[in-house]
Structures are given as C-alpha cells and as structure tokens.
Amino acid sequence: MRKKSPRAISLDLLNQMKEADRHPDQLLTDSFKRYRHLTPLDRAFLTELTYGVLRWRGRLDWLISHFSKIPFGKIDSEIVNILRLGFYQIVFLSRTPPSAAVNESVELAKRIRGKGGAGFVNAILRSFLRLKDKTPYPDIKEDPALHISVVQSYPIWLVRKWLEEMGEEETLKICVINNQISPLILRTNTLKIDRENLIERLRENGLNPFPTPFSEEGILVIAPPPISELPFLKKGLYIIQDEASQLVISILDPKPGERILDACAAPGGKTTHIAQRMSNIGEIYALDLTMEKLGLIKEMCRRLGVESVKTIKGDATKTLPIPQGLEFDRVLADVPCSGFGTIRRNPDLKWRKGEEDIRRLSDLQSSILRNLSFYVKKGGILVYSTCTVFHEENEDVVEKFLDEHREFRLDPVDKVASPLIADAKSEKYHSFFQKGYFKTFPPKNQMDGFFVARLLKT
C-alpha cells in the first residue's frame, strides 16, 4: 500500500464522515491500524488536523465563502475539505509554515481534481495569505449571534438558542471552552485496583496522572499519549470516562445485593460502574436495542472482570423481555440525547445535530421514562440522566413526568447519602445542585455538561 501523508489520510476521514455515522475516534483508530508507517508525530498531526477541522468548520467555511468567487454550495465537497484543511493549518497551526500548508493542499487537489482543482485551491489560499490581516468578521455589536457563530464556529441556530437561554457572556464562555481539547479522564476499575495504586503504576510508565477533584475513582492524565498507546487499558484496570459521567452512578447510589436495571446501557461504562459500586454482588440487567450494542457491553464486562451483568435485547419504550412482575430496586434511564454537553470531545455534533433533533429526542426521552417507571419497586429509585444542557431534554421531561405520575416525587440530589454527596455542604459542590437536580456545566465545572434527576417511587 502506498504511504499516505497525514494530510491525505485526514482528507479521507473528513470525506467519509459525510456519509458514515461513525465517531471520529473510531475512524482515526482504524487509520492507525491500517497505515502502519505513521510515526507517533504523524498520528498526533493526523488527530490534530481531523479534530481541528471539525471543531472550527464554521469559521473555515466562512473564510472559504469570503475568498471564493464560486458560491460555497457549488464547490465540490472534496475540494471544500481540502480548503478546510489548508485554512485550518494557516490560521490555527503556528508551527506549520503557510507555504507548506498551501503546497500540500494544492497537491491534494491536483491528485483528486487535476489542474483546475489545484489552481482553484491555490488561488483561494494565496489570496487569504495576502489579505488575512484585513479579513473582516461580523461585528459583535451589530449581530452578536452571527459574530459568535462565525468566530467561535457554531451553527447560528445553536448560538441563538444559547443567547436566548443564557445571555451573551455565558454563551461566549461555553463556546470558548467547548472549542478546547477535552482532558483525558480515566475511571479506575476498583474491582482490580484502587486509584492510588493505579496512579502510581501510570507514573511508573511515564504518564502524568492526578486524582480528579470530585469522582473518587477518576484520574486526570496531563499531556496523554494517543489512546492506543495507553498502558493497562486492555488489562481492564480502567476505562476512559469523563468525570461528570462518573458522578451519575454516585447519584444512583447502588448497593451490593440489589437488583438494578440499566436501560440504554451500551457501551457499558455506567453498567460496569454500577457493578464496581456493588462489588460484583447482586443483579444488573443491561438493556439495549441491538445484539451489536449488547456485544460492546459484554466485551467491557469481560475486560473489567464484571460478573453480575445480564444483557437483554429490548426497546426501553416498550414492554421489557423479562419475567412478568420483576421489579428493580433502582433503574437508570441514561437516555439517548442530543449530546450538546459533550461538544469538547465530540465537535462533529455541532454539525450533525439540529434543533429538530432536540424536539424529537425529548419525545423519545419521555416515552422511555414513562415505560421504565413501571419496573421500579415501591420505595425504589429511578434516575434520569442526559449529557446535554437543554431544558427541553432535561427539566421539561422530568417535570412533565412528575405531573403525570404522582406516585413519584423528586428526591433532591443534594440530600442523597452517597460518596459524592458525603461532603455536600462544602462549597465546591454547590454549583452542581440546582432546584434538586444535579447539573454540570463546562465553563463552571471543567467537565462535560450532564443533567441528573433522582426520582423516588412512594
């Protein structure tokens, strides 16, 4: 196989993403396996290019539109991705010489669209190099939404929604922090090792790990290597999981010997966390729609040494395929959501999801919550969780459910007796608790945006 440059591979990945519904991480991992000639520096550059273009696509497209004589919608899609790569290197990568960015972009265009494509790319990028100091952006005083949309690279509908809900200052904050590279957070698998020993072993292997401030199993790794080079991952001593996601199970607060249902469980991060907290003692039913998803759960359980999980194939909006009358001490409804609390690690979300998805998902979330409520025993706990920041998918869903199901009441999160809340009176936890709910917000908490409601069946 001909050796491809990181720029050429990144172009392939960006072209694929338009068609494939796959996470960029999956595509990058496949590329690392396929192109064995890539050095660690090559892999880092490939990752930087791919995620950088996804993160800053809106601003890059504005520049292309500004300097192209052809309307943006009529430019060949592969040429658009070549221009995005070129502009990204020139604008954001100070260590890449602009001449190298232009020449490599022109070469890519020449291979794909011949001399005409090469000339078009060359003209646009060189025009920008001549005039970049004079390039105007929308004025924030005249149109705050358009300015933030272009300069911070977000869809205009999303910026307008945030401006309406949070105001200009908070909108700018969330846009800025979501354009930063997310930290690498690990969750210690306490079935095999404790956090202190894992931190020590990671340091012995040249990493720079620190305990997270809130999750008692979390580890922050400073300046991490590529995920494929992390030690002990395949041995199941930890998984990669954001700190906010880890805190969900503290609110569920499972106990050894209980029967727990984890609906919408794939890929198994929260399922295996429940098993850890239960010391592998009890029953955990992990529900998801397809055998493929259940396979992911089984593989994670195998790697982490989890033995208390029973996978079941089913739809969380319909009657579950379990023995009639079976009830659960606790049910986790970690529902499908728009995911806008995770933009730092999933920048492609900005361009894949729209406002109509929020409305569609809120209906689905309500259906799941209603259905799962029938499987909670009297005195049991139903936890509703999302990784998004919108009221329509969070408070609105829960409040509608509570209006319709008087047998449930909100169990205020700040009163839960669990490891997270053990020090609830400490000021460092106060920002998490809002009107009985648990909420994290990237600009405030330096973690993904999560929402959790704990409901008690009376």
Known catalytic residues? Answer: 387
Distance of alpha carbon 301 from alpha carbon 357, whole angstroms: 31
Written as one letter, the residue type at 291 is: M
Alpha-carbon separation of residue 387 from 36, 50, 75 (angstroms): 35, 23, 35
Distance of alpha carbon 115 from alpha carbon 103, whole angstroms: 13
Which letter, b or e, does each residue of 223-235 get, where b requires 16 or more Cβ atoms within 10 Å of its Cβ?
ebbeeeebebeee
Distance of alpha carbon 451 from alpha carbon 244, whole angstroms: 9
Q: What's the burial of 139, exposed, middle or buried (CB within 10 Å: 0-12/13-18/19+)?
A: exposed
Tokens 């199970």 appear where? 249
The enclosing H or E element of 292 equals helix 291-304
> Which tokens belong to 457?
């069946």
Residue 161 contacts by C-beta under 8 Å, 6 or more apart in sequence? 355, 390
Q: Could you tell me if 411 and 455 are in contact, meaning their C-beta atoms sit under 8 angstroms apart?
A: yes
Tokens 């050894």 appear where? 256
Q: For 262, which DSSP code?
A: E
Written as one letter, the residue type at 431 is: S
Alpha-carbon separation of residue 69 from 25, 46, 98, 118 (angstroms): 35, 30, 22, 15
The rounded Cα 339 to chain-centroid distance in angstroms is: 6
Q: How far apart are the first and last CA of the chain?
A: 64
Name the residue among 28, 31, 8, 13 with its Cα closest to residue 105.
8
> Which tokens belong to 100?
């190298």
At how many degrees (to 10) do helices 98-131 and 57-67 cross?
Answer: 60
Name the residue among 124, 57, 44 with its Cα closest to residue 92.
57
Distance of alpha carbon 408 from alpha carbon 411, whole angstroms: 9
Q: Report the 10 Å Cβ neighbour count for 144.
A: 18
Residue 295 contacts by C-beta under 8 Å, 6 or more apart in sequence? none
Phi/psi of residue 186, each to 5°? Answer: -105, 155
